[in-house]
Amino acid sequence: MFLINCPFCGEREQSEFKAGGEAHIVRPKQPTELSDDEWAEYLFMRKNIKGVQFERWNHIHGCRKWFNMARDTSNDQIKAVYKMGEKPPVK
Amino acid sequence: MSNNLRFKTSKFIDETYRVSFKFNNKTYFGFKGDTLASALLANGIHLVGRSFKYHRPRGIMTSGSEEPNAIIQLHDNSSRTEPNVRATEVEIYEGLVASSQNCWPSVNFDIGGINNLLSPILPAGFYYKTFMWPASFWEKYEYFIRKSAGLGKSPKVVDPDIYEHNYIHCDVLVIGAGISGIMAAKMAAKNGFKTLLVDEKSYLGGSSIYDNSEFSKINNQLTSSWLEKEINEISKLENLEIKIRTSVAAYHGYNFLLARESLTDHLPINQRDNKVRHRLLKIRAKKVITATGSIERPLIFDNNDRPGILLSSAIKKYIDLYGVACGENNVLFTNNDTAYETAMSLIQRGIRINAIIDNREQVDSKICYEVEKNNIKIYKGFSVVDTYGYRRINKISIMKLSKDGQTVIGDKTKLTCDCLGLSGGWTPAVHLFTQSGGKLKFREEDQVFIPDVYPSDQISIGSCNGDFGLNEIIKNTLSSLKKFLNIDNSEYKTLEIISGLNQSKRNIWLLPSDKTIGKTKSFVDYQNDATSKDIKLALREGFRSIEHVKRYTTTGMGTDQGKLGNMHALGIISETAGTKMGEHGTTTFRPPYTPLTFGTIVGRNVGEFFDVFRRTPIHDWHVKNSAEFENVGQWKRAWYYPKENENMYQAVQRESKAARDSAGILDASTLGKIDIQGTDASEFLNRVYTNAWSKLAVGKCRYGLMLNEDGMVYDDGVTTRLGENHYIMTTTTGGAANVLGKLEDYLQTEWPELDVYLSSVTDHYATISVCGPNSKKIVSKVIPDLDYSDEKFPHMSFKNAKIGNIKCRVMRISFTGEQSYEINIQANFGKSVWEKCMDAGKDFNITPYGTETMHLLRAEKGFIIVGQDTDATLTPIDLQMDWIVSKKKYDFIGKRSLYRSDTIREDRKQLVGLLTENPEEVLEEGAQIVSDVKKSPIEMLGHVTSSYYSPNLKKSIALGVVKSGKNLLGQKLIIPMENKNINVIVADPVFFDKEGKRLNA
Ligand SMILES: [Zn+2]
B381 contact A CB<8A: no
Q: Do the interacting molecules here have an ipTM over 0.90?
A: yes
Contact B254 A1 (CB under 8 A): yes
Q: What is the DSSP letter of B62?
A: -
Assigned domain for A91 exists: no
Indicate the residue among B366, B390, B423 that finishes a domain: B423
Q: pLDDT at residue B138 above 80?
A: no
Question: Taking the C-alpha atoms of B421, B422, B426 and B431 in order, what is their torsion angle to the nearest 10 degrees?
Answer: -90
Asked if B182 and B204 count as a contact pair (C-beta separation under 8 A), the reply is yes
Instruction: Give Cα B640 to chain centroid, integer Å.
Output: 36
For chain B, what percent of residues have pLDDT higher than 70? 94
Residue of A nearest to B255 (CA): A1
Please tell me whether residue B477 adopts helix, strand or coil conformation. helix
Q: How far apart are CA B896 and CA B687, in angstroms?
A: 12
B968: containing domain: 896-1000
Same domain as B590, residue B566: yes
Taking only the tens place, the pLDDT of each residue in B814-862 is 999 999 999 999 999 999 999 999 999 999 999 999 999 999 999 999 9
How does residue B143 score in pLDDT terms, banded at 50, 70 and 90? low
Assigned domain for A43 exists: yes
Indicate the residue among B440, B473, B499 that finishes a domain: B499
How does residue B557 score in pLDDT terms, banded at 50, 70 and 90? confident
pLDDT at B836: 98
Ligand 1 centroid to residue B851 C-alpha, Å: 37
Same domain as B513, residue B439: no
What is the number of residues in chain A? 91
Q: Between β-strands B14-23 and A78-83, what pairing exists: parallel, antiparallel or unpaired?
A: unpaired
pLDDT at B106: 66
Q: pLDDT at residue B615 above 80?
A: yes
Nearest CA distance, B757 vs chain A (angstrom): 12
Nearby residues of B372 by Cβ (< 8 Å), 6 or more positions away: B378
Same domain as B269, residue B202: yes
Q: Where are the alpha helices (DSSP H) in B493-647?
A: 532-540, 546-553, 566-577, 598-602, 619-624
Q: How far apart are CA B391 and CA B44, in angstroms?
A: 12
Q: Which residue from B156, B996, B68 is spatially nearest to B564, judged by alpha carbons? A: B68
Assigned domain for B451 exists: yes
Assigned domain for A90 exists: no
Lowest-confidence range among B135-149, B351-365, B516-530, B892-906? B135-149
Q: How far apart are CA B256 and CA B241, in angstroms?
A: 18
Chain B residues in contact with A58 by the CB 8 A cut-off are 741, 744-745
pLDDT at B581: 85
Of A32, A65, A75, the CB nearest to B891: A32
Chain B residues in contact with A72 by the CB 8 A cut-off are none
Q: How far apart are CA B481 and CA B189, in angstroms?
A: 12
Assigned domain for B622 exists: no
Q: Which residue from B327, B510, B297 is spatially nearest to B416, judged by alpha carbons? A: B327
Q: Which residue from B537, B534, B515 is spatially nearest to B524, judged by alpha carbons? A: B534
Q: What is the DSSP letter of A89?
A: S
Q: How far apart are CA B377 and CA B106, in angstroms?
A: 39
Assigned domain for B250 exists: yes
Number of domains forming the structure of chain B: 5
pLDDT at B134: 52
DSSP-assigned letters across all residues of B518-547: GG---EEETTTTEEHHHHHHHHHTT--SHH
How does residue B556 score in pLDDT terms, banded at 50, 70 and 90? confident
Same domain as B757, residue B807: yes
Q: How far apart are CA B625 and CA B648, in angstroms?
A: 15
A86 contact B CB<8A: no
Assigned domain for B336 exists: yes
Better pLDDT: B832 or B502: B832
pLDDT at B141: 56
Chain B residues in contact with A59 by the CB 8 A cut-off are none
Of A30, A43, A66, the CB nearest to B749: A66
Contact A31 B749 (CB under 8 A): no
Q: pLDDT at residue B794 above 80?
A: yes
Looking at residue B495, which CATH number applies to its domain? Answer: 3.50.50.60
Same domain as B746, residue B679: yes
pLDDT at B544: 83
Looking at residue A43, which CATH number applies to its domain? Answer: 3.30.2270.10
Nearest CA distance, B103 vs chain A (angstrom): 41
Same domain as B801, residue B707: yes
Q: pLDDT at residue B965 above 70?
A: yes
Nearby residues of A45 by Cβ (< 8 Å), 6 or more positions away: none
Same domain as B273, residue B172: yes
pLDDT at B1: 44
Same domain as B746, residue B603: no
B891 contact A CB<8A: yes
Q: How far apart are CA B120 and CA B125, in angstroms?
A: 13
Q: In which element (H, E) is residue B264 found?
A: none
Taking only the tens place, the pLDDT of each residue in B623-670 is 999 999 999 999 999 999 999 999 999 999 999 999 999 999 999 999
Q: What is the CA radius of gyration of chain A?
A: 14
Asked if B693 and B805 count as a contact pair (C-beta separation under 8 A), the reply is no
Same domain as B345, residue B271: no
pLDDT at B611: 87
Same domain as B727, residue B593: no
Q: In which element (H, E) is residue B790 found?
A: none
Same domain as B591, residue B469: no
Residue of A nearest to B904 (CA): A36
For chain B, the average pLDDT equals 93
Q: How far apart are CA B935 and CA B887, in angstroms?
A: 42
Q: Between β-strands B378-380 and B352-358, what pairing exists: parallel, antiparallel or unpaired?
A: parallel
Taking only the tens place, the pLDDT of each residue in B405-440 is 999 999 999 999 999 999 999 999 999 999 999 999
Assigned domain for B304 exists: no
Contact B253 A64 (CB under 8 A): no
What is the number of residues in chain B? 1001
Assigned domain for A88 exists: no
Chain B residues in contact with A13 by the CB 8 A cut-off are 284
Ligand 1 centroid to residue A64 C-alpha, Å: 6
Better pLDDT: B137 or B696: B696
Number of domains forming the structure of chain A: 1
Same domain as B494, residue B373: no
Q: How far apart are CA B861 and CA B936, in angstroms?
A: 36
A38 contact B CB<8A: no
Chain B residues in contact with A31 by the CB 8 A cut-off are 891, 895-896
Across the range B553-560, mean pLDDT stands at 85
Contact A1 B252 (CB under 8 A): yes
Longest CA–CA span in chain A (Å) reads 43
Q: How far apart are CA B20 and CA B18, in angstroms?
A: 7
pLDDT at B680: 97
Contact B752 A85 (CB under 8 A): yes
| Three-state SS annotation for B81-135 | CEEEEECCCCECCCCEEEEECCCCECCCCEHHHHHHHCHHHCCCCHHHHHHCCCC
A79 contact B CB<8A: no
Asked if B260 and B244 count as a contact pair (C-beta separation under 8 A), the reply is no
Q: pLDDT at residue B4 above 90?
A: no
Assigned domain for A89 exists: no
Q: Where are the alpha helices (DSSP H) in chain A?
A: 36-44
Q: What is the CA radius of gyration of chain B?
A: 38
Nearest CA distance, A91 vs chain B (angstrom): 20
Chain A residues in contact with B710 by the CB 8 A cut-off are 43
Better pLDDT: B491 or B872: B872
Ligand 1 centroid to residue A16 C-alpha, Å: 9
Contact A32 B895 (CB under 8 A): yes
> Which amino acid is present at B484?
F
A21: containing domain: 3-83
